Amino acid sequence: MRDALRLKDVSAYYGRAQILHGVSLEVGAGEVVCLLGLNGMGKTTTLRTIMGLVERIEGQISLNGTPLAGPTHRRSRLGVTLVPEDRKVFPTLTVEENMMVAAKPGASGSDLTRERILALFPRLEERLGQKGGTLSGGEQQMLVMARAMLSNPKYLLLDEPTEGLSPTYVEAIRDGILAARACGIGVLLVEQSLPLARSVGDSFLVIENGEIRFHVAQSTVEGDPGTLERMLTIEEGV
C-alpha cells in the first residue's frame, strides 16, 4: 500500500447540519490533487475535517496507513499542514520571524530549507525585517505559504491560495506547489482558477453538495482541456 492521506466514507457535521456525505479521496506522496466545485459545496469543510476542525466526523481518515485523529495540533505534528483561505500571518513579527516560527527539517535530504524558500519567493527576502502585518495581500499569501512549506509537512492542504492575487503572485504560488511536490509532499489543493489547477494537478475531484461526483485523471484533462469546465457547468445547472 503506497503512502497516502486517505479519506474513506467520511461525513462531517456542524451541529445537526451534515455538510459532507461519505467523501472518499486519496492524496499520494508527491502528488497534487485538486478539489474543485462551486462555493458552498464542501471544499473548505473537507480540509477542515482532515484537520479535525468540525464538530463531528464519521468515517476513516488515515495518514500513511495510520489513523489520523485527535486535536488539530496532533495532526499537524504528524505531518499535515493547512493553509487556510484567510491569511493568518503574525502581524507584529517580522517576515523572518513568521517564517522560522514553524520551521523544522523534513524526513529526507530534499528538505524545503530557508534558502530554497527564499529562492522561490524572492519578494520575501527583500522584506525579511518588515512586520508581517504591513505586507500586501499577495505578500502575506506568499508568507503563509512559505511558513507552511518550511514545516516540511508530509501533506499540505491549500484553501484558495491564489484568490484575489495578481498574476505575478499566482505564478509564485504555483512554483511553491510544484516545489512541494518535487520534495515528495502530497498536496490537496482547493482552487477556483482552473488554469492554475490544470498546470499543477495530477488528478481532479469535483465536489457537489458534500459528495465527490467526478474523479478525473490528468491525462484526460490534457487530452481535452475543456473537461473540467463542462463538469462544473453541469454542476451549476443541477
Q: Which residue has the higher pLDDT, 112 or 143?
A: 143
Q: In the structure, what pLDDT confidence band is assigned to residue 102 with cuts at 50, 70 and 90?
A: confident
Distances (CA, A) of 125 to 88, 103, 107, 168, 175: 19, 16, 25, 16, 16
**pLDDT on residue 106:** 60
In this predicted model, what pLDDT tens digit does every residue of 21-34 receive, in sequence order? 999 999 999 999 99
Q: How far apart are CA 105 and CA 150, in angstroms?
A: 8
Mean pLDDT of the chain: 91
Which cell numbers in the block locate residue 229? 469546465
**pLDDT on residue 2:** 79
Q: How far apart are CA 106 and CA 159, in angstroms?
A: 23
**pLDDT on residue 16:** 92
**pLDDT on residue 1:** 59
Q: In the structure, what pLDDT confidence band is assigned to residue 207 with cuts at 50, 70 and 90?
A: very high
Which cell numbers in the block locate residue 130? 518588515
Output the 3-class SS for the chain: CCCEEEEEEEEEEECCEEEEEEEEEEEECCCEEEEECCCCCCHHHHHHHHCCCCCEEEEEEEECCEECCCCHHHHHHHCEEEECCCCCCCCCCEHHHHHHCCCCCCCCCCCCCHHHHHHHCHHHHCCCCCEHHHCCHHHHHHHHHHHHHHCCCCEEEEECCCCCCCHHHHHHHHHHHHHHHHCCCEEEEECCCHHHHHHHCCEEEEEECCEEEEEEEHHHHHHCCCHHHHHHHHHHHC
In this predicted model, what pLDDT tens digit does every residue of 151-190 receive, in sequence order? 989 999 999 999 989 999 999 999 999 999 999 999 999 9
Beta-sheet pairing, 56-63 with 203-208: unpaired
pTM score of the predicted model: 0.93
Q: Is the pLDDT of residue 110 over 80?
A: no
Q: Is the pLDDT of residue 195 over 80?
A: yes
**pLDDT on residue 236:** 45
Q: How far apart are CA 138 and CA 172, in angstroms?
A: 10
Q: Between the ranges 60-69, 96-105, 114-123, where is the mean pLDDT highest?
A: 60-69
Q: Which residue has the higher pLDDT, 113 or 197?
A: 197
**pLDDT on residue 238:** 41
**pLDDT on residue 125:** 94
Q: Is the pLDDT of residue 206 over 60?
A: yes
CATH of range 30-44+71-237; options 3.40.630.10, 3.90.1860.10, 3.40.50.300, 3.30.450.40 = 3.40.50.300
